[in-house]
C-alpha cells in the first residue's frame, strides 16, 4: 500500500473505529445544548489525522501488517499487558477539536468542515463551554487506557504540556497580526507549538503507553517535523483550494491578516500583503480577487518557497523513523508524511 490513494484508504480504515470511540466518549446527554455543542464538530466529520497517527505508530512499534485486523482496545505492550490505544487516539482528537472550537471563536470564523462553527450554531458562551468539555473529556479518556500508572502519568503529562504549547503558539499567532515584520524563524516556532506539538504527541503516545521507551524520541521528532509540514501545506491550501472543497472561505488567512510562511516570505520580497485583499470580506471577496492575490504571491516566489520548506520538513521527519525496525507499518508512516504535503484538502 503506497501513494496518495493508499494512504487515504489506510486512514479511512481507521476512521471508523476512531469515530465510534469519539461518539461514545462524547454522548448525547443533559444538558442537551452543552453536549450538542461539544459534539457539533465531531459530528461534522474530519480527516482524523492525529488519532490515525496514534494507531499507525502503535502498529509500527508492533511491526504489524497494516492489512491485518487489529484489536486497538487491547494492544500488546512490552510487559505482556494490553493497552487501549484507540481510547488514547480519541483523546488526541478531542484536544484537536477543542482547539478548533476556540480558534473559530477567536478568529470569528463562520464555517468549519463545511458546517457552521460552534459559536455560530450556538453562541459564544456555549462554544467556550463546549471546548472546555472536550478538553476535560480528553484527559478523562487518557486515564482509561489500562496502561500502568507510571506510563499513564507520563502520557498525561505529555498531553498537558502539549495543550500549554498550543496556547503559547496561538498567542504568538494572534500577536503576529499586529506586527509588520515577522521572521521565518518566528513563524516556524509558532507553528511548532500551535500545530506540530500535537502531531509529535500523537506519534509518541503509543510508545509511552506501551513501554517502548527507546522509540519515544524518534516518533515524537517524526511527528513534530511532519506537523510543521502539515501546517505550511494548510497555508497553501487556504490559497489554492476551492471554498466548497476546503470547508471554509478560500483566502481566509489573507482576509484575516494572518501571518503564514507564504505571507512572511512575500513581505520579505517587498509585497504589500495588506493591500492584496484590502476592503474585502468573506461575504464580498470573489474567486477572481483571490486568484489575483495568489498570482502576486506566486510571482514573488512565495508559494514555491513554502512548498520547498514543507518538503524539507517531511524529509527530516522520515529520517527520524530510520532507527525503527523495517515493516509495512513503518512504510505507511513514511507514506503519511508524503501525503501531508500532497493532499488536496
pLDDT (mean) for 230-257: 90
Beta strands in 126-172 (DSSP E): none
Q: Could you identify the residue written with the cell 504540556? A: 161
Under 8 Å between Cβ of 250 and 282: no
Beta strands in the chain (DSSP E): 75-76, 82-83, 111-112, 115-116
Which three cell numbers, joined as nine digits, stand for 295? 498570482
Under 8 Å between Cβ of 22 and 141: no
User: How far is Cα 160 from Cα 165, in angstroms, rounded to an integer?
Assistant: 9
Q: Which of 77, 117, 94 is nearest to 18 (CA)?
A: 94
Give pTM, 2 decimals: 0.95
CB within 8 A of 157, min separation 6: which ones? Answer: none
Over the Cα atoms of the chain, what is R_g?
A: 20
Predicted confidence at residue 66, as pLDDT, reads: 52
> Domains of the chain, with CATH numbers?
3-339 (1.10.600.10)
Q: Could you identify the residue written with the cell 525503527? A: 324
Q: pLDDT digit string (tens) for 122-177?
A: 999 999 999 999 999 999 999 999 999 999 999 999 999 999 999 999 999 999 98
Q: pLDDT digit string (tens) for 272-297?
A: 998 998 888 877 888 899 999 999 99
Which three cell numbers, joined as nine digits, stand for 141? 479518556
Q: pLDDT digit string (tens) for 82-113?
A: 999 999 999 999 999 999 999 999 988 888 88
Q: pLDDT digit string (tens) for 38-52?
A: 999 999 989 999 999
What is the widest separation between alpha-carbon atoms in the chain?
62
Residue 67 pLDDT level (bands cut at 50, 70, 90): very low
CB within 8 A of 21, min separation 6: which ones? Answer: 86, 87, 89, 90
Predicted confidence at residue 2, as pLDDT, reads: 55
Residue 63 pLDDT level (bands cut at 50, 70, 90): confident
293-301: Cβ within 8 A, 24+ apart:
293/239, 293/251, 293/254, 294/239, 294/240, 294/251, 296/266, 296/271, 297/239, 297/262, 297/263, 297/266, 297/271, 300/265, 300/266, 300/269, 300/270, 300/271, 301/265, 301/269
Cis peptide before 31 (omega within 30 of 0): yes
Amino acid at each position: 500500500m503506497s501513494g496518495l490513494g493508499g494512504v487515504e484508504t489506510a486512514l479511512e480504515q481507521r476512521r471508523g473505529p476512531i469515530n465510534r470511540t469519539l461518539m461514545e466518549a462524547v454522548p448525547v446527554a443533559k444538558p442537551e445544548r452543552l453536549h450538542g455543542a461539544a459534539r457539533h464538530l465531531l459530528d461534522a466529520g474530519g480527516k482524523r489525522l492525529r488519532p490515525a497517527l496514534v494507531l499507525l505508530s502503535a502498529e509500527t512499534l508492533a511491526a504489524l501488517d497494516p492489512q491485518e485486523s487489529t484489536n486497538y482496545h487491547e494492544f500488546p505492550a512490552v510487559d505482556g499487558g494490553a493497552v487501549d490505544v484507540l481510547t488514547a487516539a480519541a483523546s488526541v482528537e478531542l484536544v484537536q477539536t477543542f482547539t478548533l472550537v476556540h480558534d473559530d471563536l477567536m478568529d470569528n470564523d463562520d464555517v468549519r468542515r463545511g458546517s457552521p462553527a460552534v459559536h455560530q450554531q450556538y453562541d459564544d458562551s456555549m462554544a467556550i463551554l463546549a471546548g472546555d468539555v472536550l478538553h476535560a473529556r480528553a484527559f478523562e479518556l487518557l486515564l482509561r487506557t489500562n496502561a500502568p500508572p507510571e506510563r499513564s502519568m507520563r502520557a498525561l503529562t505529555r498531553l498537558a504540556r502539549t495543550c500549554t504549547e498550543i496556547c503559547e503558539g496561538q498567542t504568538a499567532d494572534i500577536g503576529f497580526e499586529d506586527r509588520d515584520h515577522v521572521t521565518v524563524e518566528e513563524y516556524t516556532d509558532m507553528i511548532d507549538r500551535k500545530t506540530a506539538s500535537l502531531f509529535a504527541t500523537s506519534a509518541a503516545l503509543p510508545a509511552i503507553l506501551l513501554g517502548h521507551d527507546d522509540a519515544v524520541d524518534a516518533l515524537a521528532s517524526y511527528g513534530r517535523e511532519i506537523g510543521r509540514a502539515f501546517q505550511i501545506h494548510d497555508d497553501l491550501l487556504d490559497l489554492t483550494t476551492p471554498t466548497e472543497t476546503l470547508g471554509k472561505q478560500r483566502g481566509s488567512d489573507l482576509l484575516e491578516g494572518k501571518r503564514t510562511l507564504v505571507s512572511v516570505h512575500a513581505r520579505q520580497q517587498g509585497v504589500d500583503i495588506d493591500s492584496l485583499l484590502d476592503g474585502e470580506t468573506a461575504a464580498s471577496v470573489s474567486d477572481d480577487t483571490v486568484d489575483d492575490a495568489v498570482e502576486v504571491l506566486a510571482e514573488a516566489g512565495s508559494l514555491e518557497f513554502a512548498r520547498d520548506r514543507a518538503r524539507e520538513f517531511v524529509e527530516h521527519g522520515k529520517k527520524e523513523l530510520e532507527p525503527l525496525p523495517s515493516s509495512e507499518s513503518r512504510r505507511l508512516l513514511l507514506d503519511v508524511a508524503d501525503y501531508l504535503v500532497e493532499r488536496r484538502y
